[in-house]
Every structure is written in C-alpha cells, then in structure tokens.
C-alpha cells in the first residue's frame, strides 16, 4: 500500500450521528468503511461494548443509568446507519460468540435475524466471528460482504481458505497479536488475502470471552479493562498496537488499518486516525 493512500476502518462510537458523519466525510479518501454496532432492538447490544456502560466495579445496583446509556447508544447507531446510507460503506460487527445457541434452530434464527437487519439498514457488509453464523449468512445473502473478526482467530492460510470458500469472506482481520509476527502477515498477503489489522488495540491478548475485555480507551471506566490479569499502566506498552511511524513496516502487507474505539469519547476515532494518517 502506498503511504499516501492508506485506508482505515473507523469506529462509530455512539456520538452525535450528524456530526460524526460530517467528520468522516472530511476524511473520506482514507476511510474504507465505518464499523458500527448492529442494533438488535432499543437498549440491546451484541458485543463487548455493552460492558463499558457499567459502574467501575461492574456491580452497580442502579441499573437504570447503564440501561439508559445503552439505549441512547443504540438509538444513535440506528440514526447513523440511516444517515450514512449511500455516503460511506457500513460494515457492522456481529460478535455471536457472546451467545450460547442451545439448538440448531436457535442458531438459524439468529443468522436470519442478522440478515434481516442487514437488509433493513442496507449494509454493505458484516464482521463475523462465529464460523457457523458466517456460513448461514453467506448462504442467505451471498452478495453481502463478509469480513472476519479478529475474535475469529484465523492464524493460518488453511483456515482462511476454508472461510473464503464456505463463507465468501473478502477481508480477513487476523488476531490482534499478528502485528508481532509480520512474517505471518507476509504469508497471508502472498497467498492473495486482503488483510485488515487493528493498530491501536490496548489489550495484551484481547481475549473476547473475558467480561473485562475492552479497549485501552475504556480505562476511564474500569481500571481492569486492559486484560483479565494485567491492569497496570505499564501494560499499555506491551499491548498490541503500533506507533504511526511504524506503519511503513506494515504497508506492504496490510490493506486496511483498523482503528479501535467504539466506546471512546466523541473525537477519539478522528484524532487517532489523523495521527496515523499524518505522522
């Protein structure tokens, strides 16, 4: 990738939808897509971002405030998806691994509901971490663009081959720690796969099954968000992120740089992207 033409995946973080869209359009030439929470219904979220609204100890007896904040976030997501249609590409995450499917029928119903939402919001694509869901979604909506989630943990070319063949995956987001193994990125890229990589993720390993997993930008909400076992400030410097000036070492292999921050403060995604674009 030419350094002047780097492309980014930008997070919608629940702030004012009109303002956010205006800021995206200012940077449109560097934005491949915006990823936004997929709203199931008012107040409900299907990813780890929902934990960011809890109290610091996670045991807030007053559930009204967190529920209100979650509901407002979801309403803003709905409005953003409405306003942005036809203006930017929207790729919504589906972190189905947070749900236990007690039967094949329950799994199918979940996949159908996801496809219905994709149609309702006329999405360009979905980010899917669960292989079973990806297979079903691709069967129902073969024209829909599917990206893997870093939580799907594709670490070798054979895995990626299966996901592309069975799920129609067009963009792969390898695990967060892939930045520590550029030789693996080269192997994947040389095999013809389009790659998207997180570049500002604060978690040490980013375990998607840990309730305390979240982004380093959530440190203001909960001091143990960095990981389930390491919560010192020094651990930030051992996280899976790169400095803007390091991008030149990854440009040859990475097609899209992903900015983390779905639960960050209003202008954080733009300040972060601007730093990576300009430095």
Could you give the CA distance from residue 41 to residue 38 in angstroms, rounded to a whole number?
Answer: 9
14: number of Cβ within 10 Å = 26
SS3 186: helix
**Contacts of 13 by beta carbon, 8 Å cutoff, 6+ apart:** 20, 261, 262, 263, 264, 265, 266, 268, 269
Tens place of pLDDT per residue across the chain (279 aa):
677 889 999 999 999 999 999 999 999 999 999 999 988 765 555 665 655 666 544 455 555 677 788 888 889 999 999 999 999 999 999 865 456 788 999 899 989 999 999 999 999 999 998 899 999 999 999 999 999 988 788 889 999 999 999 999 999 999 888 888 899 999 999 999 999 999 987 655 444 434 344 444 344 444 344 444 445 555 556 667 888 999 999 999 999 999 988 878 889 999 999 999 987
Angle CA 233–251–6, to nearest 5: 90
Please give the structure tokens belonging to residue 270.
């733009």
Could you give the CA distance from residue 262 to residue 47 in angstroms, rounded to a whole number?
Answer: 10
CB 199 within 8 A of CB 179: yes
Instruction: Specify the pTM.
Output: 0.86
């Amino acid at each position: 990738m030419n350094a002047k033409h780097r492309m980014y995946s930008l997070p919608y973080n629940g702030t004012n939808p009109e303002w956010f869209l205006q800021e995206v359009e200012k940077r449109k030439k560097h934005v491949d897509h915006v990823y936004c929470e997929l709203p199931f219904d008012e107040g409900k979220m299907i990813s780890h971002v929902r934990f960011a609204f809890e109290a610091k100890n996670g045991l807030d007896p007053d559930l009204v405030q967190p529920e209100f904040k979650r509901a407002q976030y979801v309403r803003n997501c709905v409005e953003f998806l409405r306003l942005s249609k036809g203006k930017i590409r929207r790729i919504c995450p589906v972190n189905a691994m947070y749900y236990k499917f007690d039967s094949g029928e329950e799994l199918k119903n979940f996949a159908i509901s996801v496809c219905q939402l994709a149609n309702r919001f006329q999405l360009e694509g979905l980010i899917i971490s669960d292989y079973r869901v990806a297979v079903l979604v691709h069967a129902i909506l073969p024209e829909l663009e599917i990206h893997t989630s870093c939580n799907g943990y594709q670490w070798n070319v054979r895995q990626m081959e299966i996901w592309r063949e069975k799920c129609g995956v067009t963009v792969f987001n390898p695990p967060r720690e892939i930045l520590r193994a550029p030789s693996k990125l080269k192997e994947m890229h040389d095999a013809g796969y389009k790659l998207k990589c997180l570049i500002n993720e604060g978690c040490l390993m980013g375990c998607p099954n840990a309730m305390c997993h979240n982004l380093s930008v959530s440190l203001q909400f909960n001091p143990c968000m960095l990981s389930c076992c390491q919560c010192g400030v020094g651990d930030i410097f051992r996280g899976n992120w790169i400095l803007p000036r390091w991008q030149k070492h990854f440009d040859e292999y990475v097609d899209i740089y992903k900015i983390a921050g779905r639960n960050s403060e209003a202008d954080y995604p733009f300040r972060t992207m601007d730093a990576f674009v300009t430095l």
